[in-house]
Amino acid sequence: MEAISRGARYADFVENGAGALHSLKANVAVLRVTKKCRVFKQDAIPFVARLDTGAYDVCFADPPYGSRKLDLVIERWREIAFAGVLAIEHSKNHDIAMKGKSYDLEGDTRVTVLRR
């Protein structure tokens, strides 16, 4: 939603958690951005597995902390550059296999930005 509020032409969201999915759809409706947003109800791993090179300019991934999903998203991005920029939110103690610019936030949160 932040990207749309800052001028992005469109945004796709991938979510399979029932509560988060409900909130996401409600926010899209309340903000009246249904024409700029698509919501995919599915797991992120099969979603990114189907993406082609250059499918997105920017991808922001926020998988559950401690899951292997983060590593799988990065692995796929290394194989097929589905976005020019991959920004990932993760635990500060999660080692990222690639070098990028990292930003430490409050608590255990770090955002790392990877570029092709």
3-state SS string for 67-113: CCHHHHHHHHHHHCCCEEEEEEEEECCCCCCCCCEEEECCCCEEEEE
Q: Please give the pLDDT value at position 12.
A: 97
113 plus 93 within the same structural domain = yes
**CATH number (domain holding residue 82):** 3.40.50.150
36 plus 84 within the same structural domain = no
Structural domains in the chain (count): 2
13 contacts: CB under 8 Å, gap ≥ 6 = 24, 28, 37, 38, 39, 40
pLDDT tens column, 12-49: 999 999 999 999 999 999 999 999 999 999 999 999 99
26 plus 79 within the same structural domain = no
55 plus 106 within the same structural domain = yes
The amino acid that residue 83 corresponds to is A
How far apart CA 76 and CA 78 sit, in angstroms, is 5
- Rounded to 5 degrees, φ, ψ at 97 are -75, -5
76 plus 110 within the same structural domain = yes
61 plus 107 within the same structural domain = yes
pTM of the predicted model as reported, rounded to 2 decimal places: 0.91
Q: Please give the pLDDT value at position 1.
A: 87
Block residue for tokens 């020019």 = 84
pLDDT tens column, 75-103: 999 999 999 999 999 999 999 988 999 99
65 plus 90 within the same structural domain = yes
66 pLDDT above the threshold of 90: no
Q: Domain of 107? A: 51-116
66 plus 107 within the same structural domain = yes
36 plus 69 within the same structural domain = no
Q: What's the farthest any 2 CA atoms get from each other in the chain?
A: 39
32 plus 72 within the same structural domain = no
38 plus 56 within the same structural domain = no
Dihedral, CA of residue 18, residue 110, residue 105 and residue 33, to nearest 10: -40
